[in-house]
């Protein structure tokens, strides 16, 4: 209608200008009228998108076998319950204003999938039609299949109270309102990575140390992003889809795998730049300075990113990950506490000394070794080298320079950090420790605090009066930290396993000192801390043919390893040189003068713990003991573990790091990976020390409570010995003799009913 009216009106108006004007006016009027007509017609038009005429039938085949899983595996979900699809409509205008209304339909599924026999520890990842799902964007509930498992609340709400099965004994997952648009409006094929660890070890672990501590934002439980350029942003601390951040995903998995977990040690690193005690400066660091594209600022001890030290580079990248921001440490402490876990704050010193440093070497090299162990910080020249200042006033001065002058009153809490108002340029050790003591206080306190670890080269330095100035400095720090954090925080120092029990100078003097006793006896120190990397085996491949002198049946014989916790190397005998080790020439550990061989045995923790300590000067015992009170304090294994490498228990204290001068593989190792090694190592210690073990004797075992251990990422694997006996138990059969069954599998799935023989056979 508008087309006809405006066409006529246009012709009439155009006719005033002659015939040509009439034609032009008619055309313009027709176009305008058509536009109006179209708008009027379309405004009432309704266009519908694709819609399901009915819910697609979904069925699960009856009689499908429920898998039985040991370890970790990716399993296909078996549909056990579903509702009709939920339909959701969205109406919107298309095109210009007044365009037709487009109606779109979205569909959602409520569905449950059985995974395997329970109980399971939990799940890690999930896939739909082969694509990994972001589990933070969907509603997914996991039921572990316990014997007392209750019905899922959604299933019960849909089926009615009392009508919903609990699926007890079955591990299953429930998706609530799973969006189906990306899957062609159908329920996709679901696969889930299921964790069902087997064996007793995971139940025995009550504390772990969380590493790495060199990560600027890795300890933050909320996501931190970095803008690379306009329109391009990457996550700094989320590299998985099964957790809001890497920390959250790690803690989730840790609690699934270690149901007895009580305590988490939080490592935070600053960086030293010199092995010379008097020249070493200890600072927080970043991987890149002056970059402002982060969603959260980096701030440590009041130092912003653009003023911070930048770590050195190696192989085209940063040698270390940087220091955790103070805000991320506060957030991590809060996250761990919120999970009902205790927290140990562990300030950690890493040495950022790259190759080509041209720094004078205390040990006589052309320059300082690249990326060395912190235990090598000492005076220059080092003790027992010509011209050493050890046993002079200069050694005390070097220690004082290393520690710096920071005082507890120099620190002030601010919004996201602890500000420092002490001497400008003071980057001594005291600033590191006192900063984190104040940060722990700002966090509402922690359960334990370490004032350092493994600073063996410093703790053994003596002044002109044969006193140990760094031990004195640790005693003062322990008092100050205890005063700041109060009676509910346990304070200690993590001594190296070669350091905790005493100092035997290699100068032929016959002097023997309990140099850390002043610290261990300090009222402010709650326990004796030991980073325990003592060897438990002495295995070579030739032993398979020639036999092992310790009676071990293999490199990871559990009985032999358990016996070596308080026996073997470091207890009964030692190798006087590497040449002796190569030839297996063992020297017995004896003490002819006073009949106290435990004085030299770093493994004889019980004797050291339960006896008074008499030092010796020139081989002669002093009349009075040290301040150590026998049986006076518990012993904590502040670190415990061995590398996952062939023959790791031969030399647990070494590791592979291509950039470091400390990079080694264990004695007689073939360098191959061995995930069983750290499991057997921990199991041996836990069996020896844990009160719940059958060997525990309260009169002979000082470790109460047991604490420590590195973060375990291999607990999900299954030892063959545990696998065999778990399968036998599931078939109602008694356990077999499996101590010689070495080996480990990531996961083992039995997907069809059968006999124990069939399950154990090589299918």
**Which is nearest to 417 in space by CA: 311, 308, 510, 517?**
308
Mean predicted confidence (pLDDT) in 357-380: 97
Cβ density class 481-511: b for 16+ within 10 Å, e for less: bbebbeeebbbbbbbbbbbbbbbebeeeeeb
- Residues with Cβ < 8 Å from 748, sequence gap 6 or more? 69, 70, 71, 73, 718, 723
pLDDT at position 573:
98
Token code pair at residue 644 = 């996952």
- Residues with Cβ < 8 Å from 219, sequence gap 6 or more? 247, 266, 268, 324, 328, 329, 331, 332
Q: How confident is the model at residue 693 (pLDDT cuts 50, 70, 90)?
A: very low
Question: CA angle 366-367-372, nearest 5°?
Answer: 130
The per-residue pLDDT for range 166-181, each reduced to its tens digit, is 999 999 999 999 999 9
Query: Does pLDDT of 269 surpass 90?
Result: yes
Name the one residue in this structure whose structure tokens are 């313009």: 28
Range with the lowest mean pLDDT among 274-278, 619-623, 717-721?
Answer: 717-721
The per-residue pLDDT for range 710-758, each reduced to its tens digit, is 444 567 889 999 999 999 999 999 999 888 888 899 999 998 888 999 8
Do residues 317 and 354 make contact, with C-beta atoms less than 8 angstroms apart? no
Token code pair at residue 449 = 């605090």
**Concatenated DSSP letters of 125-178:** EEEETTEEP-TTSSEEEEE---TTPPPPHHHHHHH-TT-S---TTEEEEEEEEE
pLDDT at position 99:
63
Query: Does pLDDT of 63 surpass 80?
Result: no
Helix (H) or strand (E) holding 760: helix 756-760
Reduced DSSP (H G I as helix, E B as strand, rest coil) percent helix, strand, coil of the chain, to 5: 25, 25, 50
pLDDT at position 403:
98
More confident residue, 731 or 709: 731
3-state secondary structure of 313: strand
In the chain, pLDDT over 70 holds for what percent of residues? Answer: 87
Do residues 171 and 118 make contact, with C-beta atoms less than 8 angstroms apart? yes
The per-residue pLDDT for range 406-423, each reduced to its tens digit, is 999 999 999 999 999 999
Per DSSP, helices labelled H in 293-443 are 326-338, 393-403, 429-442
Residue 304 CB-density burial (10 A; 0-12 exposed, 13-18 middle, 19+ buried): middle
Residue 752 CB-density burial (10 A; 0-12 exposed, 13-18 middle, 19+ buried): exposed
pTM for the predicted model, two decimal places: 0.89
Q: How confident is the model at residue 88 (pLDDT cuts 50, 70, 90)?
A: confident
The neighbouring-strand residues paired with 207 are 263
């Amino acid at each position: 209608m508008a087309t006809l009216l405006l066409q006529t009106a246009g012709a009439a108006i155009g006719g005033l200008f002659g015939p040509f004007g009439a034609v032009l006016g008619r055309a313009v009027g027709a176009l305008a009228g058509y536009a109006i007509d179209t708008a009027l017609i379309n405004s009432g038009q309704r266009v519908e998108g694709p819609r399901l005429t009915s819910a697609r039938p979904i069925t699960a085949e009856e009689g499908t076998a429920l898998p039985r899983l040991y370890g970790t595996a990716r399993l296909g979900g078996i549909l056990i319950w579903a509702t009709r699809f939920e339909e959701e409509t969205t109406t919107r205008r298309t095109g210009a204003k007044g365009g037709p209304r487009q109606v779109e339909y979205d569909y959602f599924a409520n569905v449950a999938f059985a995974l395997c026999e329970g109980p399971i520890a939990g799940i890690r990842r999930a896939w739909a039609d082969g694509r990994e799902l972001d589990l933070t964007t969907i509603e997914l509930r996991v039921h572990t299949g316990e014997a007392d498992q209750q019905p899922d609340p959604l299933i019960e709400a849909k089926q009615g109270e009392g009508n919903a099965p609990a699926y007890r004994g079955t591990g299953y997952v429930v998706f609530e309102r799973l969006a189906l648009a990306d899957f062609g409006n159908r329920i996709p094929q679901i696969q889930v990575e299921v964790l069902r660890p087997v064996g007793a070890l995971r139940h025995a672990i009550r504390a772990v140390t969380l590493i790495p501590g060199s990560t600027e934002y890795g300890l933050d439980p909320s996501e931190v992003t970095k803008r690379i350029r306009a329109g391009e942003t990457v996550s700094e601390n989320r590299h998985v889809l099964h957790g809001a951040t890497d920390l959250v995903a790690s803690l989730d998995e840790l609690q699934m795998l270690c149901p007895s977990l009580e305590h988490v040690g939080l490592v935070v690193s600053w960086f030293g730049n010199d092995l010379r005690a008097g020249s070493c400066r200890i600072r927080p660091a970043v991987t890149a300075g002056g970059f402002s594209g982060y969603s959260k600022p980096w701030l440590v001890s009041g130092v912003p990113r653009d003023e911070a030290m930048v770590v050195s580079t190696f192989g085209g990248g940063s040698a270390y990950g940087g220091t955790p921001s103070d805000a991320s440490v506060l957030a991590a402490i809060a996250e761990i506490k919120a999970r009902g876990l205790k927290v140990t704050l562990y300030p950690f010193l890493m040495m950022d000394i790259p190759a080509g440093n041209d720094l004078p070497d205390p040990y006589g090299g052309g320059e300082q070794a690249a990326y060395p162990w912190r235990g090598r910080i000492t005076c220059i020249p080092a003790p027992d080298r010509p011209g050493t200042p050890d046993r002079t006033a200069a050694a005390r001065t070097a220690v004082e320079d290393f520690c710096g002058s920071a005082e507890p009153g120099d620190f002030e809490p601010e919004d996201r950090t602890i500000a420092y108002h002490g001497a400008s340029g003071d980057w001594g050790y005291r600033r590191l420790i006192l900063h984190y003591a104040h940060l722990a206080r700002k966090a509402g306190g922690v359960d334990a605090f370490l004032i350092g670890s493994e600073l063996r080269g410093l703790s053994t330095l003596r002044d002109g009066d044969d006193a140990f100035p760094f031990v004195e400095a640790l005693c003062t720090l322990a008092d100050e930290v205890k005063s700041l954090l109060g009676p509910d925080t346990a304070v200690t120092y993590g001594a190296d396993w070669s350091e905790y029990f005493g100092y035997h100078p290699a100068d032929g003097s016959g002097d023997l000192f309990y140099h850390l006793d002043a610290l261990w006896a300090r009222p402010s120190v709650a326990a004796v801390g030991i980073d325990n990397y003592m060897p438990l085996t002495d295995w070579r491949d030739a032993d398979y043919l020639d036999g092992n002198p310790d009676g071990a049946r293999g490199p990871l014989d559990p009985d032999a390893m358990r016996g070596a916790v308080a026996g073997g190397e470091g207890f009964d005998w030692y190798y006087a040189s590497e040449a002796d080790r190569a030839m297996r020439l063992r020297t017995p550990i004896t003490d002819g003068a006073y009949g106290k061989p435990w004085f030299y045995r770093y493994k004889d923790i019980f004797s050291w713990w339960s006896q008074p300590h008499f030092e010796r000067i020139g081989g002669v015992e002093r009349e009075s003991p040290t301040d150590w009170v026998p049986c006076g304090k518990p012993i904590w294994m502040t670190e415990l573990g061995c590398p996952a490498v062939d023959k790791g228990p031969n030399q647990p204290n070494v590791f592979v790091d291509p950039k470091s001068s400390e990079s080694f593989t264990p004695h007689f190792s073939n360098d191959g990976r061995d995930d069983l090694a750290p499991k057997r190592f921990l199991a041996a210690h836990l069996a020896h020390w844990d009160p719940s073990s059958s060997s525990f004797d309260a009169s002979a075992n000082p470790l109460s409570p047991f604490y420590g251990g590195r973060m375990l990422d291999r607990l999900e694997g299954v030892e063959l010995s545990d696998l065999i006996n778990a399968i036998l138990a599931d078939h109602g059969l008694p356990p077999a003799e499996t101590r010689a069954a070495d080996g480990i599998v990531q996961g083992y799935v039995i997907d069809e009913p059968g006999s124990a023989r069939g399950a154990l056979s090589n299918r």
